[in-house]
Chains A and B, each alone.
Chain A
C-alpha cells in the first residue's frame, strides 16, 4: 500500500516560507491570494496490504519521526 503523509506547521505557528511564497505570488500579479502555508508531502511504499494497519503504521511513523508535533500537524492518506 502507499501512504501519503502531509506535514504542515500547526495553525498559529509562524510560517515564514508560506509568507515569502505569498509575497512572491502577489509580485507576479496574483492579487487574490490570501494566506499561504508551506508544508511537506512524504510518500511511503508499505509492505502492509491492510489499509487500516497501513494507516496505523504511517501515523506512528508521523508521530515518531516525520512530524515534530511541537510545531507540526500531520495527516495520512492511504492509496491502494
Chain B
C-alpha cells in the first residue's frame, strides 16, 4: 500500500497515523507537505488530525484552501481513496469532499477520552476487516466534533448507506448517552457516495498495538493494507 499523509502547519497526529499504516502494510507512508501538489502513485491519501493553522476562522477552513487540497480534490475526483481523521474530517467537509460540518461539542468541552463506534457497514475498503454491527473502542480528542447537516442531507446519508460509524455504548446501543459530542443521529463518520472517502472524528490509529492499550483500531488499517495489497 502506498499511502500519503498530508501535512499542514499545526497538524500533530501524522506520526500516529504513520505508525498505524506502517504496522498494517509494512511500508512507510509518504509525508506530503501542504504546498505540494503531486499525489501520483498513491493508493490512499490521509488527512490526519491536529489543529491545522491553529483552527483559525473555523476548524479546517484554512487547510481546505491550501494547494495540496486542490490536488486531493483532483485525486478524489479521479476515484482515489481518501481518509480524514479528526481535523482531517473537518478539512474534508470544509473542502466540500464530504457533506455537513463539525460544530463545537454540544457540552462545550474538549473531549479527550475513549468512545465506542458501531460499524454501520463492512463492505468498504475501510471497514472490510470489521463486521457490520461490530462495536470497537476508539480514542477521541476534539473540541469540534458535533456533526451536523441539514435533515435532507442526513436522510440521504442514511438512505444511501453512507454512515460509516455511529457513537454507541460498548454493548452497541446507539443512544443519546453514548453520543458524547452531540452529533446528529450519533454520526461519527461518513463515506462519500463512491465509498472511497471516509471522514471520522475518533482516532482508530491510536489503538493499533497492545502497548497503546488495545488493538481495536487495527482492523481499519489491516483492511486497507489487504485491499491495496490485492490491487497491487
Asked if B100 CB lies within 8 Å of chain A CBs, one says: yes
A16 in contact with B100 (CB, 8 Å): no
B101 in contact with A17 (CB, 8 Å): no
B182 in contact with A14 (CB, 8 Å): yes
B61 in contact with A65 (CB, 8 Å): yes
Contact partner of B104 (CB less than 8 A), chosen from A16, A68, A70, is A16
A17 in contact with B108 (CB, 8 Å): yes
Asked if A3 CB lies within 8 Å of chain B CBs, one says: no
B103 in contact with A66 (CB, 8 Å): no
Bound Cα distance A13, B147 (Å): 11
Q: Would you give the 0/1 interface string for A9-28, flagging 1 where the beta carbon is closer than 8 Å to chain B?
A: 10001101100100000000
B101 in contact with A20 (CB, 8 Å): no
Asked if B195 CB lies within 8 Å of chain A CBs, one says: no
- Interface SS majority for chain B: loop
B148 in contact with A68 (CB, 8 Å): no
Bound Cα distance A70, B61 (Å): 13
Residues of B within 8 Å of A70, CB to CB, are 93, 99-101, 148-150
Number of residues in A with C-beta < 8 Å to the partner?
11
Contact partner of B148 (CB less than 8 A), chosen from A13, A20, A65, A66, is A13
Known: A13-B103, A14-B182. A66 touches B57 (CB 8 A): yes
Number of residues in B with C-beta < 8 Å to the partner?
20
Residues of A within 8 Å of B108, CB to CB, are 16-17, 20
Asked if B107 CB lies within 8 Å of chain A CBs, one says: yes
Q: Would you give the 0/1 interface string for B165-187, flagging 1 where the beta carbon is closer than 8 Å to chain A?
A: 00000000000000000100000
Residues of B within 8 Å of A9, CB to CB, are 103
Asked if B58 CB lies within 8 Å of chain A CBs, one says: yes
A16 in contact with B65 (CB, 8 Å): no
B65 in contact with A65 (CB, 8 Å): yes
Bound Cα distance A20, B106 (Å): 11
Residues of A at the B interface (CB closer than 8 Å) are 9, 13-14, 16-17, 20, 65-66, 68, 70-71
Residues of B at the A interface (CB closer than 8 Å) are 57-58, 61, 65, 93-94, 99-101, 103-108, 146, 148-150, 182
With A14-B106, A68-B58, A71-B101 already in contact, 16 other A-B pairs whose C-beta atoms are closer than 8 Å: A9-B103, A13-B148, A14-B148, A16-B104, A16-B105, A16-B106, A16-B108, A17-B104, A65-B65, A66-B57, A68-B61, A68-B101, A70-B93, A70-B99, A71-B103, A71-B148
Q: Can you sample 29 A-B contacts with CB below 8 Å?
A: A9-B103, A13-B148, A14-B103, A14-B146, A14-B148, A14-B182, A16-B103, A16-B104, A16-B105, A16-B106, A16-B107, A16-B108, A17-B104, A17-B108, A20-B108, A65-B57, A66-B57, A68-B61, A68-B94, A68-B101, A70-B99, A70-B100, A70-B101, A70-B148, A70-B149, A70-B150, A71-B101, A71-B103, A71-B148
